[in-house]
Amino acid sequence: MVKILPEGRGGIHYENYSGQSIALDTVKCAVKIKKSRVPPTQFNEVLIRSNALTDRGFYQWAFYPGMLFLSRDRWWGNGGMRDRPHEGVDFCFYKDREGRINHVSDTPLAIPVLYEGTVVHLVEDYIGTSLFVLHDICDTNGNQLYTIYGHTDPSEGIRSGVAVREGSIIATIADAGKKKAKMSSHLHLSIAWISPAYPHERLDWKSLADHDRALLVNPLLFIDSTYTVLQYPSKI
């Protein structure tokens, strides 16, 4: 039986970038935000609606500690420690209104993009493909907002240079079984502020972990949704 720990809650929040300052007039951004604000997103609402999760009894997202931002835990396989802190959040399970824990891959999970933007890079990962999307949103230092969607099967027509509208479906989660990955299929979501001087084609998970190049932000602070933190069972 899965044991449930106290609930958490997301909310709109911003973490300031400490890297090199760039003149704002050198960066073309539709939105320039102050330190304490980020644009609201309907990602959670669209994710639930696009996958008919309400019809399946969806109540709230459920995460093992190792699925959360900056966790050092490996939540898959035999557990242990990650090589580096987790770069984002893993959407894998949800709690229904009856209190049961369900896996999102019971049907292929359709993945919406958080904001309007442009797909700028695709990278193969150990389950599927990671999509890097650049948004016309800058912080006060001129750093640009990126959202990254890991372990996916990109939708038809999704490639580098393609413009996407907020809430449009850009991928589904990849089947971990096809690559014999020792974990459940899931969406890994990361959010980062990155200097416009850094080339799109060099973006990967290693560069995101470099604090001189990117500032990672907790995705749950962008997404206004309650969630449950689960204790680890003997096997996931």
Adjacent-strand bridge partners of 187 = 91
Tell me the percentage of the chain whose pLDDT exceeds 90. 59
Q: Which two tokens stand for residue 71?
A: 């966790």
Q: Each residue of 204-219: pLDDT tens digit?
A: 998 888 878 889 999 9
| CATH 2.70.70.10, applies to 4-13+22-230 | yes
pLDDT at position 234: 62
Confidence of residue 183 (pLDDT cuts 50, 70, 90): confident
pLDDT at position 182: 78
The backbone torsions φ and ψ at residue 13, rounded to the nearest 5 degrees and listed phi first, read -160, 160
Residue whose C-alpha is closest to residue 220's, from 90, 123, 48, 31 = 90
pLDDT at position 235: 56
pLDDT at position 79: 85
Considering only residues 176 and 174, tell me which one the structure prediction assigns the higher pLDDT.
Answer: 174
Please write down the long-range contacts of 101-106, taking CB distance under 8 Å and 24 or more positions apart: 101/2, 101/62, 101/230, 102/56, 102/57, 103/184, 103/185, 104/51, 104/173, 104/185, 104/186, 104/187, 105/173, 105/175, 105/184, 105/185, 105/186, 106/56
Average pLDDT, the chain: 83
- 38/222 Cα distance (integer angstroms): 8
Q: Each residue of 119-168: pLDDT tens digit?
A: 999 999 989 999 999 999 998 888 999 999 999 999 999 999 999 999 99
Confidence of residue 191 (pLDDT cuts 50, 70, 90): very high
Taking every pair of Cα atoms in the chain, the longest distance, rounded to a whole number of angstroms, is 56
DSSP letter, residue 143: P
Is the predicted pLDDT of residue 107 greater than 80, yes or no? no
pTM of the model as a whole: 0.85
Q: Each residue of 22-75: pLDDT tens digit?
A: 233 333 566 666 543 567 899 999 999 999 999 999 999 999 999 999 999 989
pLDDT at position 31: 62
Is the predicted pLDDT of residue 3 greater than 60, yes or no? no
DSSP letter, residue 199: -
